[in-house]
Chain A
Amino acid sequence: MSQGLSRKIIEYALTFLVIVSMNFFLPRLMPGDPFTFLSTEEGSITIIYTKEQIDRYKAYYGLDQPLLRQYVTYLARLGRGDLGYSIYFNETVGRIILNRIPWTLTISIIALVLGGLGGTLLGSLSAWRRNESMDQGLYLIMIVCSEIPTFLVGVFLLFFVAARLRWFPLAGGITPFANFKTGFARFNDLAAHAFLPIMTLSVTRLADFYLLARNTIINVLTKDFMRTAQAKGLRKRRLLFRHALKNALAPVVTRAFLSLSTVFNGAILVENVFNYPGVGRLLREAVIVRDYPLIQGVFLFMTVTVLIMNLLAEVVYKQLDPRVN
């Protein structure tokens, strides 16, 4: 077990190195000269520098050194937690991203929990009443829901719930310049702003977990121990929740960890639909103002988080399902 685990960790470390190297080589593979990119705006007049000036700037950015040494310097800086400096926001990339992380993580995790619980519950009910009209209808709806892009759901909710019905604020993460008298009022405001983004993210999660839970439980229901339990005359509720659901839990819980990458994809879109101040919107802002260190920082943060969650998923799966070893 521990040998398998250490091997997994080595594999993940290698994957991490690949991602970090990709992050290093991306700007260097970019067409054009990095120096021109740094010194001129697109569309404006190109300022002509002398050879000496170019050399000086290249030395300043460390671009005159051999690639291998640049790579080592980059790794060393990364090890110290230095992600670079954002020219546009005039702050270190690490700090900007840290400020945005709580927003993204909050809506992602709440959506994951809501979608996971709701989807699993609906999925088990559907599996229990398999081939009845409720199951068939739900199944068709969920297939469509699982494929519909998150931003369409977001736009839909934004139009009908926020703009037409005016139940929720249209955009942002908190009312700007508001002076909250109590902590509760502040929490209320935050919750009202987060509600629609969370709902949007949950819809796709719900469908995903529904399909998974339905499939798994239909599979479990055919097992011999289920027939035994049924023959013992156990109640339906006990049968479904104690016997079927418990045995179907391993893949569902693992999926919860694994789906973080999908949730991040969704969060990028949802945050931009609702102008929610998380990492996803930061990424779009960074791309639009061409803030390359910031883009790389966000890229690194998201991929590393996803990798860690995947490693956790494998560990958890082994704990939940002793057959895997």
Chain B
Amino acid sequence: MDKRRQVVGKLKFTSRLALVILLVVILFGLGADLFAFHSPQLPSGPALEGPSRVHWLGTDDLGIDLWAQICQGARISILVGFGVAVLAGIGGGLIGMLAGYYGGCIDRLVMRTIDLMLVLPDLLLMIVLGAFFGPSISNIIIVLSLLSWAAPARIVRSRLISLKQEQRVTAAYSYGAGFWHLTRYHFLPELLPLLMVSNIKLVGKTIVAEASLSFLGLGDPTAKSWGIILNHAINFSGIYFTPYWRWWVLSPLVALTVLIAAIAVLSRDIEKIINTKI
């Protein structure tokens, strides 16, 4: 807890702002029903109405409140982003630890797979897998986790290999400490900060990936994510030549840009702070 406070204390002004933005988005996402007074699924006013006191961000072509949709979209972005970060972090971390700890044949196999995963275009794989297995939100989270465990696994593996050579670890090993004991008392405290940094980046990448997929109209059609709102708006014929884009296109666009920029700035800064400690 103390360490975390130290990290926050060292943040630059821009990163503090980014942290606040991230927290606000999480708050709005989780409390979507509290902060939005209209349904994100049902029409609640005239179609294509501009921002007003009733509809803060206006309405779309079906008269559905955009502010409610943006809040709902924040929830989906947060769900996908953090869901994948947790799954891929745990999975990738475990695989990296096993590969680094046991070495040999397992290690070589894992490294080859990691190389393959890092090479493939992830959006392409997502589209193809989505086409074959159906693009529901849970499928998207699973597919994205399968695609993104490689980066944390590689980081954890290389750190673990150097940790294994430290004297306190070899000493513990010579006293008969097993894998789990070493993990609990020697590896995890060192590896967790590393994993955290790589996973903040992962959150950003994942949110972009989900938004891209639903922007193409190939995501989960029932989940109102920011990408889907944009997709609907862009496909509305003549949107370029009407004033509707001012609220309908701009609001998801700005929301996505701000969130991603915040995560990018924050992760760069945290990375710098934690890297200097190693």
Contacts and interface: CB of A to CB of B under 8 A. Distances in A.
Interface of A: 11, 14-15, 18-19, 26-27, 29-31, 140, 143-144, 146-152, 155-156, 158-159, 162-164, 170, 261-262, 264-265, 268-269, 272-273, 283-284, 286-288, 290, 292, 295-296, 298-299, 302-303, 306-307, 310
Interface in B189-217: 204, 208, 211-212, 215-217
A44 to B, nearest CB: 18
Contacts of B256: 149, 152
Given A155-B230, A269-B123, A147 B263 contact: yes
B261 A144 contact: yes
Given A298-B124, A299-B128, 12 more contacts: A31-B134, A140-B14, A140-B265, A143-B268, A147-B264, A149-B208, A152-B253, A159-B245, A159-B249, A265-B121, A268-B127, A292-B132
A144 B132 contact: no
A303 B116 CA distance: 10
A30 B132 contact: yes
Contacts of B253: 152, 155-156
Interface in B5-40: 14
B133 A30 contact: yes
A151 B125 CA distance: 18
A297 to B, nearest CB: 11
A272 B127 CA distance: 13
18 contacts: A19-B120, A26-B129, A31-B133, A143-B265, A144-B261, A144-B264, A147-B264, A149-B208, A149-B260, A156-B253, A159-B245, A261-B121, A265-B124, A268-B127, A284-B218, A286-B131, A299-B128, A303-B121
Contact of A264 (B116, B124, B128, B130): B124
B124 A290 contact: no
B218 A287 contact: yes
A299 B265 CA distance: 33
Interface in B157-179: none
B257 A152 contact: yes
B256 to A, nearest CB: 6
A226 B189 CA distance: 40
A79 B217 CA distance: 34
B4 interface: no
Nearest to A283: B127
A159 B238 CA distance: 12
Contacts of A31: 133-134
B257 A148 contact: yes
B234 interface: yes
A277 B212 CA distance: 19
A218 to B, nearest CB: 13
A253 B256 CA distance: 32
A21 B265 CA distance: 40
Nearest to A269: B212
Interface in B264-278: 264-265, 268
B241 interface: yes
